Structure 1
Amino acid sequence: MKAYLWFLGALMLFFALPFPCLLYFGTSWPLEAGDRSAPWLALGLLATSLALWLVLLYAFLHYLLLAPPRALQRVRSILADGEPRSARIEQAEQTGVQVRGFAQWRLQLAFDNLSGTPITETLVVVDSKPQLQRFAVGRQLDVLLSRTPGTSPNLMLEGAQPELDRASLWRRAIGGLVGIVAVAAAYAMAYRLQNDGMGWTFLGFGHPLLICPLVLCSYLIGLRLLARLLAGTLQIDARGEALKYRGIGAEARVLDVRQTGTYVNEQPQVEFQLEYLDREGNVQQASVRRFVALLDLANIPRGQVDILYDPDDRRSVRMEHA
């Protein structure tokens, strides 16, 4: 699977970077005087090209360089001011990964969320003290919950010692710096070879300085949309995670079920109209949309379902099973 992802990434980069250059220099080089852009259009294309590269630089900084330190800061805030809970280990298995010689474990924990509703969560930990056999099924662990749940992580083992992979960050920073230098060199080289005393008029709609960042930005948008669809399918977005950790459990009656007409990987999206009694005994109604596998359509619940509702917004509901 990892090899396939590497191959797919390399293929996408080929069509984003070398391929537009090969296509341009194979069909539009050298540039005829009549094919040059008007000065106003050339400046507009130059500004667009620079803006696209800046968008890519922002995405690189936001997702690859600054995200790990932000996550570490969130982990430290949970360890310093988290809500203590006792969690029971329901499942435990080694992932096969070794971290500094210690085995990595995947645990399924059962505990009460911030509202006192029982929930389960999967947590990946490193067993730095294997002699204690802390991760046996049925044992209790002291955990800390984020008091402001949202973007993962929201759960930490008490006494955990988080670390930042500085070597990985340095590699990313060096890679980003090399990319910036390469882009700047591409602009300088293109200007030197193609300006012919007429400035940036060699820029056209098919020039690699515009096509390359445009293709990369389209990849970025596609990945963002895919991530949102998957988050909606698995309920792992920040809003869904916040609701899981602070929502109040209730049993809801299914009023209606219908397909919305949206599909992801041929899986239809289904909307549930629900009615439930909140903690104060008031009748509330809400709607929830879930993607359901085709094989599970016949097993869609029509009677009662377990839900978590937001104590501050009773129409915000998360279905635990569908």
Structure 2
Amino acid sequence: MRKGFGIFWLLFFLYFIFAHPAIIYYNTEFRNTNLDLVNPNAALFHLALSFILWAAVFTIAIWLILRYSVIAKRNIKKLSNTGKRLQGEIVEVKPLKSAHAKFKTQTIVLKLANLAGETIWHSMSFTDTKPEENRYQVGKMCYLRVDPKFKTSPYVVLEESLVSVNWFLMVVWCMFLAAVLYYFTFSYDLENGGYGWRFLSTWHPLVVIPSCIIFFPGIIFLILRYVVFKKMNIGPEATVLKFKGKRALASIGQIEQTGTSINDQPEVRFHVQFHDAHGNLHTPTIKKIVALIDLGTIKNGKEKMLFYDPENPKRVAFEEDLMNELNIV
């Protein structure tokens, strides 16, 4: 059911990015009979704009493909050899659906000490290519490699992790590039009417489609990256705080709603105060999304454990939000 839902929204998204602009254009502005009245400078502007937009699309696409394949493989190999070695105990194993019958895809939850010596829980999903060895079972020990400077993604990997490059994405990129180049020639042959590129306009698919590819995924990325993930303590910042942070007992002072909500769940601002390892008092604020059913349980003066960055004590998060792999805190 979930897979079918995802396919539906993917097709819906592709339709509005590629098919919808073409349907609108070829039923409205297509076959412009007044090309001789179009300013040649306007035609050059739209042609340059189209080339720039498509260049941006293909540059971003190849950068993402390389980042999460070739570059990621290089970074993981380097981190597996040079990263800080942390030993963890497997406390839970959750099997996942695997694409390969001979392999086992799973999520494991580890209990370990972070770089500051604090006990943490961390989950990792991966495919075990040697399931017959039963290396990942509850109670067994395994090792993580952590980048102590947190400069290169990923920051944390399983020791001896192997990454394969999916060259299929490169093939898709090349095929898409060929299709776009063909569409340029196809549109020119079909529409030029002896007037060159004067048929190009702001609403031509050669301009609209790359604009949509950049705009809509960009908006979704910004919302997820800087709004949803940040407010739900998901992402690289939470990982850094978990692996380098120190634990402290905080007293909750003023509590107030910020006026922001996600999926009808309100965002709440907590004014907290705690003493760091050196006895210094800090009074940062924490924003988090709280379920409506839990609003009544939030009280002033209540104490909660949090993690803070020793280098920047204002960077804090409640322990329960960082250690959400198991309901352990």
TM-score over 0.5 (shorter chain): yes
After TM superposition, list the pairs within 5 Å mapping 1:248-259 onto structure 2: 248-259=246-257
Q: State the 4+ residue runs in structure 1 displaced beyond 6 angstroms.
A: none
Is 1:163 paired with 2:160?
Answer: no
Secondary structure, counterpart of 1:270 in structure 2: strand
Partner Cα separation in structure 1 for residue 299 and residue 118 of structure 2: 22
Q: Say whether the 8 Å CA contact 1:273–1:287 is kept in structure 2.
A: yes
Partner Cα separation in structure 2 for residue 138 and residue 243 of structure 1: 26
Instruction: Report percent identity of matched pairs.
Output: 26
Partner Cα separation in structure 1 for residue 268 and residue 152 of structure 2: 25
The superposition leaves residues 163-201 of structure 1 with CA deviations (integer Å, 9 ceiling, x where unpaired) of 31x3x32x1111111111111121222222222333322
Q: Say whether the 8 Å CA contact 1:149–1:245 is kept in structure 2.
A: no
Partner Cα separation in structure 2 for residue 216 and residue 138 of structure 1: 47
Alignment partner of 1:298 out of 277, 293, 296: 296
Partner Cα separation in structure 2 for residue 307 and residue 241 of structure 1: 14
The superposition leaves residues 110-161 of structure 1 with CA deviations (integer Å, 9 ceiling, x where unpaired) of 1111111111110124445545543332333233222223675333333x24
TM-score with structure 2 setting the length? 0.88
Of 189-198 and 146-155, the range deviating more from structure 2: 146-155
Alignment partner of 2:271 out of 234, 258, 273: 273
TM-score with structure 1 setting the length? 0.90
After TM superposition, list the pairs within 5 Å mapping 1:279-318 onto structure 2: 279-300=277-298, 302=300, 303-318=302-317
Partner Cα separation in structure 1 for residue 298 and residue 151 of structure 2: 28
Count of paired positions: 318
Q: Which residue of 2 aligns with 1:68?
A: 69
Secondary structure, counterpart of 1:184 in structure 2: helix
Q: Say whether the 8 Å CA contact 2:35–2:198 is kept in structure 1.
A: no
Partner Cα separation in structure 2 for residue 265 and residue 88 of structure 1: 36
Partner Cα separation in structure 1 for residue 38 and residue 313 of structure 2: 58
CA RMSD of aligned residues (A): 2.3
The superposition leaves residues 275-307 of structure 1 with CA deviations (integer Å, 9 ceiling, x where unpaired) of 110111000121121122222222336411211
Partner Cα separation in structure 2 for residue 114 and residue 218 of structure 1: 40
Partner Cα separation in structure 2 for residue 89 and residue 20 of structure 1: 51
Of 186-195 and 126-135, the range deviating more from structure 2: 126-135
Partner Cα separation in structure 2 for residue 230 and residue 151 of structure 1: 23
Q: 1:109 deviation in Å?
A: 0.6
Q: Which residue of 1 aligns with 2:49?
A: 48
Partner Cα separation in structure 1 for residue 114 and residue 221 of structure 2: 29
Is 1:92 paired with 2:86?
Answer: no
Q: Which residue of 2 aligns with 1:197?
A: 194
Q: 1:162 deviation in Å?
A: 0.5
Q: 1:18 deviation in Å?
A: 2.0
Q: Which residue of 2 aligns with 1:212?
A: 209
Segments of structure 1 that go 5 or more residues without pairing to the other structure are none
CA spacing shift, 1:100–1:152, aligned 2, 3 Å: farther
Q: Say whether the 8 Å CA contact 1:250–1:276 is kept in structure 2.
A: yes
Segments of structure 2 that go 5 or more residues without pairing to the other structure are 322-329
One-letter amino acid matched to 1:162: L
Secondary structure, counterpart of 1:202 in structure 2: coil
Alignment partner of 1:238 out of 228, 236, 239: 236
Partner Cα separation in structure 2 for residue 49 and residue 118 of structure 1: 54
Partner Cα separation in structure 1 for residue 127 and residue 187 of structure 2: 50
CA spacing shift, 1:316–1:204, aligned 2, 3 Å: same
Q: Say whether the 8 Å CA contact 1:65–1:172 is kept in structure 2.
A: no
